[in-house]
Structure 1
Amino acid sequence: MEPKPMIAQKVSKHTKTSEVSERKGESSAVANRRLTRAKFSDEASYTRRRKFPVLFYSKEMEPLAHKVAAASENVVELGQIDWRTFPDGFPDLFINDAYDVRDRHVAFLASFHSPEVIFEQLSIIYSLPKMFVASFTLVLPFFPTGTAERVVREGEVATAVTLARILSNIPPSRGGPTSTIIFDIHALQERFYFGDSILPCFESGIPLLLERLNALEDSNNVVIAYPDEGAYKRFHSFFAGAGYECVVCTKVREGSKRIVKLKEGEPIGRHVVIVDDLVQSGSTLIECQKLLHRLGAAKVSAYATHGVFPNASWKRFTSSGVGGQGFANFWITDSCPQTVEAIAGHEPFEVLSLARAIVDALEV
């Protein structure tokens, strides 16, 4: 009598289970791609979607991230991160749907507006490229240590170099080195502070200002003023190409004081717009405004890509501040989220969003 084929049955059952497991274990990435395709009506829209990244963002940059998504007609997808802390205060972070970003272009919108938030964001920035992503881009609108780009005596530390080195060590992704997008870095030579393992892309907020100036009722009467020769060298080509005349101020020392004087240009009867890359205390802008009004300017406005305004110095430009009565407009971008939140509803401030410029820079 032949024995029952128990072993054969067991083997067959095991094999069948393995086959089921293999089917269940079909690549989630493939399944996700199929689901993603199903969301779009045609191949062209799907391809366009795949060209744009999944955009993760810091807590403070959430408003700008949503503006970026809207400016892209929601082609840019927003990723989610749980920003938590352990009882001892150190970050307890979690990147949601991490598997879904495989083979996708990924970007992170950062804000290093305070030293306290840099470590937790760097933890995310160093992790995302390792998730088998097609490429990784860091969007850092404001490079905060840009004004500490040099030393004038032994012992000073150029922290712009330090931050550039930290960013230069972001791990590569499948697509190669990390790209980083920075708007109006303080000194153009800082591009050489970055190592070969990162690809810095330097953008500017000036096109936003040019667009806004064209919309002014007195756009034909606008003249551009530079608070110092550094600002002139940096931004003159933008405005000269657009046909704007210029006024150049300079700082000179008289005794123990440094005062602002007119170097060249004619502000009489004009709407003078002072342009610089960033504003902190605002003292230089206020001195320029007073000088220009004394010299006969009809109106004075100001623009700075980065409204840093430490210690709530933006209040100096409101109606109750020392410089508030002198400025018709004060334009900044949303590169510094803490300032955007603080100045909401306060004249003469107006925020020009970087969202559209970021979308254009992110298109792969």
Structure 2
Amino acid sequence: MAVTATFGQPLLLSTKKTWKQDHGTATSSIGPRRIVPSNSSSSTLAHGNFLASSSILSLAKKTLKQDHGTARSSIGARRIVPSNSSSSSLASGDFLASSSILSLAKKTWKQDHGTARSSIGARRIVPSSSSPSSLADGDLLARSSILSSSSSPSVAFSSPPKRSRKTVFLFYCEETRALAERVAAESDAIELRSMNWRTFDDGFPNLFIPNAQGIRGQHVAFLASFSSPRVIFEQLSVIYALPRLFISSFTVVLPFFPTGTSERMEEEGDIATAFTLARILSNIPISRGGPTSLVIYDIHALRERFYFGDNVLPFFESGIPLLKNRLQQLPDSDNISIAFPDDGAWKRFNSQLQHFPTIVCTKVREGDRRIVRLKEGDPRGRHVVIVDDLVQSGGTLIECQKVLAAHGAKKVSAYVTHGIFPNKSWERFKHDDGVGPSEGLDFFWITDSCPLTVKEVKNRRPFEVLSLAGSVAAALQI
């Protein structure tokens, strides 16, 4: 077999000259494997020739010399090991290579040949942990830190090593227990930690963190649910206490930021409670790793993201990717249109759903009533999905549903990230089991950002819960 390095003729001569200086001969002592220029005709290439860019070989040679004081490497034992390996771990003939060189080689190979791999017959570069029975004659063994493993019997050059996942201790309140368990199931790097949630006789919280010393120096997160003013105080007490336990970093996951959803700052005297809650969260004590990260999904008023101070790092996520994934699974996925019940919903979500045909509704006032009308788009014959960030009483969604059905929609479904449904208003939504799109929905998708709602609508059509667990698990690794 031959090792073929791709480079120009002057560098080829220079390489042969250097080899002769180092080994007393201008030919390589590694059998039939040769180094030939990249412009060699296919008829002159032997089976197993290795192709590499001249810039790669030149840089590799330079790096080897910098690392080890020599530009040569005997390729006898046929192993590729990191260039910073200790001398005691090296076998005779080991080939020393810098990871930056191999990464660059992979990039250059792809530019030259349209692929990041090169089949060289029986000579493969395989993980050093491979069993002897799986190795073929001439295989080169490579450590995983240098070369990424490949399922194909071909040479695979390394990419930069992936960042190791951090272990996160996830605390939760009773409302978010189910979601926390799903988050932990998404990643073995997330460990659940429970607390004692009790009350004194006077009704005030009696809270305790078991084994508080065990989380020192660890990454810690808290999964909150501010479903009512009654539970906010006890959870804030925990949120303020955890960073003071000498933890490495702290993240608060608050899927639904509840205040301000119905507030209208229209005249002097109106109080913005959303700003108040944002100020409270902005003053969470700083942990050893710095300010607290605050993960929120589809905050209702976009201006509210600017309410937070500099002592907290808001991280705004969206549930829309869950909806898009679910829509792709539908049998009529090629017949989906997205409807927005008002201009506010269009401004918020249009950029994430712009590859779907779009329908926009609008609210107009007629006397003392506000009614929904079709502003633009054509729902005829389509499966129309109404998209908004949250639902309370559901009146606007129902009016939008009727308008779409009246304009010829074949099916109507709905999605909101936050299903609040006070006073069991979810009971207003019926399943379309033959009653038609004006009276029933095909699907009503919500996320599990409001745990109390999830318990009420579970296994009730048309409702279907799309879990935020995977998204939360990913956010905790940032």
* TM-score between the two structures when normalised by the length of structure 1: 0.84
Matched with 1:165 is 279
**Residue 281 (structure 1) aligned to one of 393, 397, 400:** 393
- Does residue 214 of structure 2 align to residue 127 of structure 1? no
Say whether the 8 Å CA contact 2:431–2:443 is kept in structure 1.
Answer: no
- Does residue 324 of structure 2 align to residue 218 of structure 1? no
SS at match of 1:60: coil
Say whether the 8 Å CA contact 1:148–1:160 is kept in structure 2.
Answer: no
Superposition deviation, residue 146 in structure 1? 3.5
Matched with 1:102 is 216
Q: In 2, distance between residues paired with 1:88 and 1:319?
A: 45
Amino acid at match of 1:116: R
Matched with 2:317 is 203
After the TM superposition, which residues 186-335 of structure 1 pair with which residues of structure 2 at under 5 Å, given as runs?
186-240=300-354, 243-319=355-431, 325-335=439-449
Amino acid at match of 1:305: T
- Does residue 182 of structure 2 align to residue 67 of structure 1? yes
SS at match of 1:217: coil
Q: Deviations over 1:175-201 (max 9, x none)?
A: 011110000001222111001100000
Say whether the 8 Å CA contact 2:431–2:442 is kept in structure 1.
Answer: no
Q: Which moved more, 1:219-228 or 1:91-100?
A: 91-100
SS at match of 2:175: helix
Aligned sequence identity (%): 64
Say whether the 8 Å CA contact 1:55–1:77 is kept in structure 2.
Answer: yes
Say whether the 8 Å CA contact 1:318–1:324 is kept in structure 2.
Answer: no
Q: In 2, distance between residues paired with 1:116 and 1:197?
A: 25
Superposition deviation, residue 52 in structure 1? 3.1
Say whether the 8 Å CA contact 2:227–2:450 is kept in structure 1.
Answer: yes
After the TM superposition, which residues 83-102 of structure 1 pair with which residues of structure 2 at under 5 Å, given as runs?
83-102=197-216
- Highest relative contact order (Cα 8 Å, sep 6+), 1 or 2? 1
Flag the 1:97–1:325 CA change in 2: closer, same or farther, 3 A: farther
Superposition deviation, residue 318 in structure 1? 3.4
Superposition deviation, residue 147 in structure 1? 1.8
Amino acid at match of 1:64: L
Say whether the 8 Å CA contact 1:249–1:288 is kept in structure 2.
Answer: yes
- Does residue 302 of structure 2 align to residue 184 of structure 1? no
Q: Deviations over 1:160-183 (max 9, x none)?
A: 101000101100000011110000
Q: In 2, distance between residues paired with 1:95 and 1:187?
A: 34
Q: In 2, distance between residues paired with 1:232 and 1:250?
A: 10
SS at match of 1:166: helix
Q: In 2, distance between residues paired with 1:319 and 1:264?
A: 26
Q: In 2, distance between residues paired with 1:252 and 1:148?
A: 19
Flag the 1:167–1:149 CA change in 2: closer, same or farther, 3 A: farther
- Does residue 456 of structure 2 align to residue 342 of structure 1? yes
Q: In 2, distance between residues paired with 1:362 and 1:210?
A: 22
Stretches of structure 1 lacking an aligned partner (at least 5 in a row): 1-43
Amino acid at match of 1:80: S
Q: In 2, distance between residues paired with 1:254 and 1:191?
A: 33
Flag the 1:153–1:64 CA change in 2: closer, same or farther, 3 A: same
SS at match of 2:217: coil
Q: In 1, distance between residues paired with 2:248 and 2:374?
A: 52
* TM-score between the two structures when normalised by the length of structure 2: 0.64
Matched with 1:116 is 230
Say whether the 8 Å CA contact 1:111–1:142 is kept in structure 2.
Answer: yes
Say whether the 8 Å CA contact 1:317–1:324 is kept in structure 2.
Answer: no
Flag the 1:250–1:324 CA change in 2: closer, same or farther, 3 A: closer
Q: In 1, distance between residues paired with 2:417 and 2:202?
A: 37
Flag the 1:266–1:284 CA change in 2: closer, same or farther, 3 A: same
Question: Over aligned residue pairs, what C-alpha RMSD do you find?
Answer: 1.7
Superposition deviation, residue 55 in structure 1? 0.3
Q: In 2, distance between residues paired with 1:71 and 1:305?
A: 20
Matched with 1:6 is none
Flag the 1:67–1:262 CA change in 2: closer, same or farther, 3 A: same
Q: Deviations over 1:26-72 (max 9, x none)?
A: xxxxxxxxxxxxxxxxxx9xx946x1310000110000000000011
Q: In 2, distance between residues paired with 1:199 and 1:146?
A: 20
Q: In 2, distance between residues paired with 1:274 and 1:101?
A: 44
Q: In 2, distance between residues paired with 1:154 and 1:220?
A: 50
Stretches of structure 2 lacking an aligned partner (at least 5 in a row): 1-144, 146-162
Q: In 1, distance between residues paired with 2:394 and 2:267?
A: 26
Q: Deviations over 1:118-159 (max 9, x none)?
A: 000000000000000000000000000142565101111111
Matched with 1:355 is 469
Say whether the 8 Å CA contact 1:165–1:193 is kept in structure 2.
Answer: yes
Matched with 1:53 is 168
SS at match of 1:262: strand
SS at match of 1:167: helix
Q: Deviations over 1:268-314 (max 9, x none)?
A: 00000000000000000000000100110000000000000001101
Q: In 2, distance between residues paired with 1:319 and 1:275?
A: 17
